[in-house]
């Protein structure tokens, strides 16, 4: 299934995308949460499948709805650095001995077609990073790599937008990875049963139609199952948690001259079998007083 959170006629609800149609299951069962992460926390995927089988959901043209971030407030938003060899090389770094894990504040999450802001304090330092996102299905700890697929709810596209000078200023990288609007995700959650092999997906990123990144998830240094084993060794993974699995080579900071983002541009990230997110880039508007 492709489970989407969408807005139509002023209301946000849950739907299942089939081709160019979204089936409005949120109207059939108004008790369903609109946040896919909350749906996972209450083990709601089977309820969604039951509603689909009943055939009562109204079909809406996909073009007539606004797709929102499928997970509004994940319990955690983790990301992995330096997980593709060519990206390690372009970064001028040594290959890490273990996965480089950092946190993106969950308030950075934004929709698949929503604007990315260029911060006023860093107008020339914002970069894109197209990534495969893995979403955890259930609470788990100590998951061996051989069974990690059992705890995956599905996959989505992530743009790990990065403010490079703020990223480099702090060893944890969190400050440079967590600006509001710097976590576009979507366009929906593709459930794990739809993806035979998450380690054989083509991932591409364009800026204003120029192809910047083009790689396969087969090139990950630490694959999805190994990442889940590594993370769950230390702490409990929670339903709705997002793990952004790292970006391939082709980031803007590594170009000569640098190809960092500017207001007025558009960033498109596409992963085969999952979908596309496409975000316009805007200058940060005046921040309201707290």
Q: Is residue 160 part of a domain?
A: yes
Look at residue 102 in the predicted model and tell me its pLDDT: 98
Q: Are residues 164 and 278 in the same domain?
A: yes
If asked whether residues 61 and 101 sit together in one domain, one would say no
Token digits for 89? 């090389």
Residue that is last in its domain, among 50, 68, 86: 68
Question: Per the domain annotation, does 151 fall within a domain?
Answer: yes
The residue ranges of the chain whose pLDDT is under 70 are 289
Task: Give the dihedral of Cα atoms 65, 22, 214, 263; nearest 10 deg.
Answer: 10
| Dihedral over Cα of 73, 241, 239, 269: its sign | positive
133 with 219, same domain? yes
Same domain, 89 and 206: yes
Pairing assessment for the beta strands 130-136 and 152-159 based on DSSP bridges: antiparallel
Alpha carbons 63 and 243: distance in angstroms, whole number: 29
Does residue 289 lie in a domain region?
Answer: no
pLDDT value at residue 286: 85
**Same-domain status, 37 and 97:** no
pLDDT in tens, 275-290: 999 999 999 988 776 7
Q: Note whether 127 and 232 are same-domain residues.
A: yes
- Domain with 63, as residue range(s), is 2-68
Q: pLDDT by residue (tens digit) across 55-96?
A: 999 999 999 999 999 999 999 999 999 999 999 999 999 999
Query: Residue 271 sits in a domain of what CATH number?
Result: 3.90.850.10
Closest CA relative to residue 132, chosen from 252, 242, 3, 261: 242
Rg (CA), the chain: 18
210 lies in the same domain as 111: yes
pTM of the model: 0.97
The total number of structural domains that make up the chain: 2
Residue 290 lies in a domain: no
Say what percent of the chain tops pLDDT 90. 98
Last residue of a domain, one of 68, 101, 126: 68
Clarify whether residues 110 and 252 are in a common domain: yes
Query: Sign of torsion, CA 21 42 234 179?
Result: positive
The secondary structure of 189-243 as a DSSP string is EEEGGG-S-TTS-EEEEEETTEEEEEEEGGGBSS-HHHHHHHHHHHS-B-TT-EE
Q: Are residues 160 and 182 in the same domain?
A: yes
Question: Does 288 fall in a domain?
Answer: no
Together in a domain, 226 and 189: yes
> Do 63 and 113 belong to one domain?
no
DSSP alpha helices (H): ranges in the chain? 25-28, 36-41, 45-54, 85-91, 164-169, 174-177, 224-234
Tell me if 161 is assigned to some domain: yes
> Residue 38 domain-assigned?
yes
- Considering 14, 45, 68, which residue would you say is the last residue of a domain? 68
**Is 58 within a domain?**
yes
Q: Do 102 and 223 fall into the same domain? A: yes
């Amino acid at each position: 299934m492709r489970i989407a959170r969408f807005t139509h006629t002023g209301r946000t609800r849950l739907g299942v995308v089939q081709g160019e149609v979204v089936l409005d299951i949120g109207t059939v069962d108004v008790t369903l949460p609109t946040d896919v992460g909350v749906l996972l926390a209450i083990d709601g995927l089977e309820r969604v499948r039951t509603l689909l089988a009943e055939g009562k959901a109204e079909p809406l043209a996909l073009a007539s709805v606004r797709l929102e971030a499928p997970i509004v407030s994940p319990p955690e938003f983790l990301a992995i650095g330096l997980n593709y060899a060519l990206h390690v090389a372009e970064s001028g770094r040594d290959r890490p001995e273990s996965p480089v894990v950092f946190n993106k504040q969950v308030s950075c999450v934004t929709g698949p077609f929503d604007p990315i802001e260029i911060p006023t304090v860093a107008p020339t330092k914002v970069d894109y990073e197209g990534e495969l996102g893995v979403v955890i299905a259930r609470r788990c700890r100590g998951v061996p790599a051989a069974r990690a697929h059992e705890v995956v709810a599905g996959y989505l596209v992530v743009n790990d937008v990065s403010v490079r000078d703020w990223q480099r200023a702090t060893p944890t990288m969190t400050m440079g990875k967590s600006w509001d609007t710097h976590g576009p995700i979507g366009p929906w959650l593709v459930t794990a049963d739809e993806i035979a092999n998450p380690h054989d997906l083509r991932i591409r990123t364009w800026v204003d139609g120029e192809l910047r990144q083009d790689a396969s998830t087969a090139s990950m240094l630490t694959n999805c199952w190994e990442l889940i084993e590594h993370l769950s060794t230390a702490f409990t993974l929670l339903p709705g948690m997002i793990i952004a699995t790292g970006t391939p080579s082709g980031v803007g900071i590594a170009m000569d001259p640098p190809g960092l983002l500017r207001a007025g541009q558009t960033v498109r990230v596409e992963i085969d079998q999952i979908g596309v997110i496409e975000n316009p880039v805007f200058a940060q508007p005046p921040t309201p007083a707290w």
